[in-house]
Amino acid sequence: AQKVTQAQTEISVVEKEDVTLDCVYETRDTTYYLFWYKQPPSGELVFLIRRNSFDEQNEISGRYSWNFQKSTSSFNFTITASQVVDSAVYFCALSEPSGYYKLSFGAGTTVTVRA
Amino acid sequence: GAVVSQHPSRVICKSGTSVKIECRSLDFQATTMFWYRQFPKKSLMLMATSNEGSKATYEQGVEKDKFLINHASLTLSTLTVTSAHPEDSSFYICSAITADGGDSPLHFGNGTRLTVT
């Protein structure tokens, strides 16, 4: 069965601190996609990254970086030098076997960055 | 970039009435759209897959007669919550797939917050 676990419910940091969000997934598929989305208080889902199961290269985009480790079924996300605007709920998601864009979402991690 | 528009963004209705939520792909055609439901401070749960010109595919546990989905054109899917009750109060989000691929072929609407009184 598909399952995405985000063990951290809430994280609170002070501005400029780094914050790492954990994501562990379960799937029997050999080909799948992993996603991270940001949901600010306004509610819309902002796409951050998509990674396919064959690409284990780590990725950096500005202050964001992702560490994909297939051996541990983890796809962790780090925000470096956090800012108040980073305050949001962050979701990790996994594609369903029946369709790469039917997503199973983790429970989400609420990040609060204090000035 | 591809835009998915959801309407209304907020709706309050009385118990027993029906509410229709629209999901439109504004600048692309979407043969497939998805409907998600999000309870307060909870994750998104996939409700159904909406296919243009055919019946929607519902996830286990989602009542088909309660949540009517119609995908009558390549740019519009609607979700109707029939005979709404307070427990149907939730945040409903749709998503659509663009055919142009890239890193972000899946586009989400801004969501509809439904409150049933």
Q: Are B88 and B81 in contact (CB under 8 A)?
A: yes
Measured CA distances, B75 to A22, A34, B24, B29 (Å) = 36, 26, 5, 5
Mean pLDDT of B42-69: 93
Cα nearest neighbour of B92 on chain A? A43
Mean pLDDT of A9-38: 95
Per DSSP bridges, beta strands B112-116 and B10-13 are: parallel
Q: Write down the residue that tokens 């994750």 correspond to.
A: B43
Residue B49 has pLDDT above 80, yes or no: yes
* pLDDT score recorded for residue A57: 86
Mean pLDDT of A28-51: 91
Mean pLDDT of B46-63: 92
Is B46 in Cβ contact with A101 (below 8 Å)? no
**Which residue has better confidence, A88 or B42?**
A88
B81: helix, strand or coil: strand
Chain A: give the shortest CA distance to residue B51, in Å.
13
Measured CA distances, A30 to A50, A61, A97 (Å) = 16, 26, 9
Percent of chain A with pLDDT strictly greater than 70: 96
Cα–Cα dist B77/B51, whole Å = 9
* pLDDT score recorded for residue B45: 93
Residue B1 has pLDDT above 90, yes or no: no
Residues in A whose CB is inside 8 Å of some CB of B read: 35, 37, 42-45, 47, 49-50, 91, 96, 99, 101-108, 110
pLDDT digits (tens, 9 = 90+) for A47-96: 999 888 988 888 899 999 999 999 999 999 999 999 999 999 999 999 87
Chain A: give the shortest CA distance to residue B16, in Å.
26
Q: Read off the tokens for A83.
A: 């800012």
The mean-pLDDT minimum among A16-20, A72-76, B40-44 falls in B40-44
Mean pLDDT of A2-16: 95
pLDDT digits (tens, 9 = 90+) for B62-113: 999 999 999 989 999 999 999 999 999 999 999 998 766 556 678 899 999 9
Is A47 in Cβ contact with B91 (below 8 Å)? no
Residue type, A7: A
